[in-house]
């Protein structure tokens, strides 16, 4: 397929691209090169090649998320916290004043 300047202008119009000056000529060369490469790929006889959907052999294994253990003691969970104020864990400030919660 021969790509002409008219073809490029039509593609530009459909794509809502605006070419100025030499851009049309440059795009013509680039577009022609792409079409030539696609034609090379199309020329390859691939009818005996098995279709590959993925190459790693890995498969997704889905499982239902289950909570293993609901039996916990809040006191035991909070025993290792550095600063505890009532039921709140006090952490170092990231933004603002040191004593801001």
**Chain segment 25-55, per-residue pLDDT in tens:** 899 999 999 999 999 999 999 888 888 877 7
Distance CA 27, CA 32 (A): 8
Distance CA 68, CA 45 (A): 54
Q: Are 100 and 93 in contact (CB under 8 A)?
A: yes
| pTM given for the model | 0.45
Show the 3-state SS of 30-99.
HHHHHHHHHHHHHHCCCCCCCCCCCCCCCCCCCCCCCCCCCCCCHHHHHCCCCEEECCEEECCCCCCCCC
The pLDDT of 1-24, averaged and rounded, is: 88
Per-domain boundaries in the chain: 1-66
Q: Are 90 and 101 in contact (CB under 8 A)?
A: yes
The pLDDT of 66-78, averaged and rounded, is: 80
* Side-chain half-sphere CA neighbours of 100 within 13 A: 6
Q: What are the C-alpha distances in Å from 8 to residues 5, 14, 19, 23, 36? A: 5, 10, 10, 10, 15
């Amino acid at each position: 397929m021969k790509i002409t300047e008219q073809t490029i202008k039509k593609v530009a119009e459909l794509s809502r691209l605006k070419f100025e000056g030499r851009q049309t000529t440059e795009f013509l060369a680039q577009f022609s090169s792409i079409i030539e490469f696609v034609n090379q790929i199309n020329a390859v006889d691939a009818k005996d090649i098995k279709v590959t959907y993925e190459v790693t052999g890995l498969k997704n294994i889905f499982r239902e998320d289950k909570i293993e253990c609901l039996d916990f003691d809040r006191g035991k969970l909070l025993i290792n916290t550095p600063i505890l104020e009532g039921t709140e864990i006090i952490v170092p400030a990231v933004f603002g004043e040191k004593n801001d919660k």
